[in-house]
Amino acid sequence: MNGRFYARVEAYQGHEFVFGSIESSGQKTTRSAARIANDGSDYYMLQFYREGHREVTGSGREHVINPGDVLVVDMTQPITTIGREYKSTDIAIPRRLLANHLHDPDSHGARRLEGNRPLTALLCSHLIALNRSAPGLSHEDMLMLQSPTLAMIAAALNGEISPESAAGMTSGIRLAVQRYIEQNLHDLGLSVQDVAKQFGISRATLYRIMDKNGGFVSYLRLRRLHRCRGEISDPRLSHKTIAQVAERWGFTNSSTFSVSFQRAFGMSPRDCRQVAFGLAATKTAFGDTADWSKWLLDIR
């Protein structure tokens, strides 16, 4: 390719996965039979193209990867790609981890997964969330995420959710949905339809997935109550009335808000503020304590 070459790569080691993002100038890549024999790499790589196009030839396939699509590279099979500048979110998985989950492990080289397919959209959402969360993920987090990530990749490649991977898929989707809700709590118009569309699933499926959390609506309300508690007990926001804090998070009925808050935290919003500011020691459903303010500040 002509012109100046540049590349910016952010990569993370997640237990046995390697994932991250790439921004690069146009380039031509060739993985020949000789190169394959020489390096012995034995893994699959999936590249979700956020921007840019790439022409792909390999494994008897010729096609163009467009924004939203996923390119599947089997490192044991020759492939040639030509493209202009692009941005992608990538993940590499050892064959020994993924092959047993695939109907035909050797049939995926140089594949294009169309971005408008629900399972592809779900996988891409998961990869983006995984990449964004990576700096804060612990080793234990990555161990927990490996199974659902494998299940999502297998479902996208197989074109179906198998009974064996259903549980792992559900766990992975639930984690992604929870992250998405947390990032969008400020959107008071956030609905089950919005979230289902974001992940390419039906409302009924989303309801089932969130059953473990008490249901979608209950989970959304509880997370907003947690935000209310954090702001009510924050000395920096003492100039805000409790009603203003509640309304900011979608609770416009003061009586309903007070009841919901009491049920969630065992004390009224007013008592929560007084205790947090050291103005009172209150008996709650959790018993007597002389140091509720420290406890509240510690859990924020």
In sequence order, what DSSP letters do the residues of 100-166 get, joined into one string?
GGSSSTTS-TTEEE-TTSHHHHHHHHHHHHHHHHGGG--HHHHHHHHHHHHHHHHHHHHTS--HHHH
Classify residue 82 by burial, with Cβ atoms within 10 Å: 0-12, 13-18, 19+. middle
Residues 292-297 have a mean pLDDT of 44
CB 284 within 8 A of CB 266: yes
Report the pLDDT value the prediction gives residue 2, as an integer from 0 to 100.
Answer: 53
> pTM score > 0.85 for this model?
no
Listed in sequence order, the residues at least 6 apart from 148 whose beta carbon sits closer than 8 Å to its beta carbon are 126, 168, 169, 171, 172, 173, 175
CB 46 within 8 A of CB 91: yes
Please indicate whether residue 272 or residue 14 has the higher confidence score (pLDDT): 272
- pLDDT tens digits, one per residue of 179-191: 889 989 999 999 9
pLDDT at residue 299 tops 50:
no
Average pLDDT of every residue of the chain? 87
Residues 51-76 have a mean pLDDT of 96
What domains, with CATH codes, occur in the chain? 7-213 (2.60.120.280), 225-299 (no CATH)
User: Could you tell me the two tokens for 25?
Assistant: 């100038």
- pLDDT tens digits, one per residue of 118-156: 788 888 988 988 888 888 888 888 888 888 889 889 989
Listed in sequence order, the residues at least 6 apart from 154 whose beta carbon sits closer than 8 Å to its beta carbon are 98, 101, 102, 162, 165
pLDDT at residue 1 tops 70:
no
- pLDDT tens digits, one per residue of 18-29: 999 999 999 999
